[in-house]
Amino acid sequence: MTTAEQAEVELANRQGLLHPSQRKTVLDGTFWVAAVLAAAGLVTAVVLPVTAIETRFGPGLASAGVVAALGPAIPILALAVWFGIVCLRRLADVRGGRLVAITGWTHDFGTQRPDREYPVVLFTRLSRGLNEQHFLKAGGKQFPLYRSTHLRERIQPERTNTVLVTPRSKILINVLPA
């Protein structure tokens, strides 16, 4: 991203808006997997009982047979609805375009545990392979920074930063110096 594009993104974010180039952050692979699973679940929840009813019981269907045929479809339908809700929340974040700003002094604790709640906290955990995993905690939500190395580089510890998050799906969008 060029300096001019970065300035345009920061200006939109400071106004509380999601820049069009940041939509792919919200509509990422997780969104598309959830959309496919929601669609497949809805199709399966409809097709499974229909095929079970037609093949097992024929035209003279008893009420007990209907319950047995619908049994497997109910959990599948519940999962499909849940995946659909996840997708709708992300779509609402993209369409609404408004961001939640959490501004505060950024404390960098390194590998130590924070002793109390702070507005913005940086910390590092060591995994079993002694790899460092960086996290940002803002507004009571913890965000892993291993996916977004550009955000990890932008966060300036021991100064005031503004963390921008989507309101419904709570996805970390950007970090700006306040």
User: What per-residue confidence (pLDDT) applies to 61?
Assistant: 52
- Name the more confident of 134 and 15: 15
User: What per-residue confidence (pLDDT) applies to 59?
Assistant: 53
Give the domain ranges of the chain.
Answer: 3-18+98-177, 29-96
Mean pLDDT value of segment 76-104: 92
- Which two three-digit tokens encode residue 43? 């199709």
| Strand boundaries in the chain, DSSP class E | 100-108, 120-126, 132-138, 141-144, 160-165, 172-177
pLDDT-derived band at 147, boundaries 50, 70, 90: low
pLDDT at 60 over 70: no
pLDDT at 138 over 60: yes
Q: How far apart are CA 59 and CA 171, in angstroms?
A: 50
Among 4-13, 36-45, 56-65, the range of highest mean pLDDT: 36-45
pLDDT at 28 over 80: yes
Closest-CA residue to 19 (of 44, 37, 1): 1
- Phi and psi angles of residue 75, each rounded to the nearest 5 degrees, phi first: -65, -35
Mean pLDDT value of segment 26-32: 93
Whole-structure pTM value: 0.79
- Percentage of the chain exceeding pLDDT 70: 87
- Which two three-digit tokens encode residue 49? 């009982």
pLDDT at 111 over 90: no
Q: How far apart are CA 169 and CA 156, in angstroms?
A: 25
pLDDT-derived band at 79, boundaries 50, 70, 90: very high
